Amino acid sequence: MHLVSIAMYLTSRPLADATAEFWSFLRHELWQAGLTDLPETLDRTVAYDEAWLRPDLLLSQTCGYPFVTRLSGKVRLVATPVYNHPGCDGPLMRSFIIARTDSAHRSLEDLRGTTAAINSPDSNSGSNLFLAAVAPLARDGRFFGRIIETGSHGGSIAAVLEGRADSAAIDCITYANIRRFDPGHLEGVRIIAETPKTPGLPFITSGDASDGRVRLLRRALVAAVREPSLAATRATLGLVDFAVLSEADYEPLLSLAGDALPQLRA
């Protein structure tokens, strides 16, 4: 049985239900195209990052930074979703840098010497883009006074609200999802800046997948964004299209990381 794990944007029940409906349609398309051993439901038992390198992986979604670092040459790029949320630009996305509403921090410069929250060091949206945004302001390779790791975007928002951190970077898709479905979690924070934009979170398949299988997956994804009966599902996900990018399109994420690494030396 193939493994299908689409778990990057499941912060609320509407998103989880819409993602399940999205897979149900993809499954039908792939089955009609002759692909067998397809799971009826998405896997919820395997951690999202553990799924990426499983040999039985058929389809998953990964963060752009791990894609160009530890997954490079080990998985195949299928397509990059295009969302219609504020901050998205075709297949490109950015993060919003937030601070508490009642804080004195109004710009990136105001964050010098303060505490920043990141969800994970290998997150493009929560760390890589955040650090790239402040890199031009660094002095002797330093900017923040301290960096704490929270484990998730929700954890980073909570750290800012609770005063454990002064700022955090939340990707524009997650921010839009929280604003639509859990708006209370954003009460007390505001956006003070935006990061550079890079390609968004790509859909991937196993590294030994044939060209034919990649084409089948791409055709199914295109069918899903054109299917009239999925209009409500796509609206819930904020999904409007898929773009086929190359691995070279993701390589700039590495240079961003290289420029920003000194900022980790708080």
As a whole number of angstroms, the distance between CA 75 and CA 77 comes to 7
Q: Evaluate whether 60 touches 51 at the Cβ level (below 8 Å).
A: yes
Q: 0.85 exceeded by the pTM? A: yes
pLDDT given for residue 77 in this prediction: 98
Burial-class residue 148 by CB neighbours within 10 Å (0-12, 13-18, 19+). middle
User: Which is it for strands 167-171 and 57-61: parallel, antiparallel or unpaired?
Assistant: unpaired
Report angle CA 9, 237, 185 to the nearest 5 degrees: 55
As a whole number of angstroms, the distance between CA 94 and CA 102 comes to 24
As a whole number of angstroms, the distance between CA 5 and CA 61 comes to 7
pLDDT given for residue 48 in this prediction: 84
Burial-class residue 118 by CB neighbours within 10 Å (0-12, 13-18, 19+). buried
Of 237, 208, 249, the closest CA to residue 79 belongs to 249
Q: Evaluate whether 175 touches 189 at the Cβ level (below 8 Å).
A: no
In order along the chain (266 residues), what is the average pLDDT of each group of 10 residues? 92 94 98 95 90 96 93 96 97 98 96 96 93 90 92 96 98 96 96 97 97 98 98 98 97 75 49
pLDDT given for residue 9 in this prediction: 87
pLDDT given for residue 6 in this prediction: 95
Domains and CATH numbers, the chain: 3-84+199-253 (3.40.190.10), 92-198 (3.40.190.10)
As a whole number of angstroms, the distance between CA 192 and CA 103 comes to 11
Report angle CA 110, 116, 118 to the nearest 5 degrees: 140
pLDDT given for residue 260 in this prediction: 57
pLDDT given for residue 265 in this prediction: 46
User: Which is it for strands 3-5 and 198-199: parallel, antiparallel or unpaired?
Assistant: unpaired
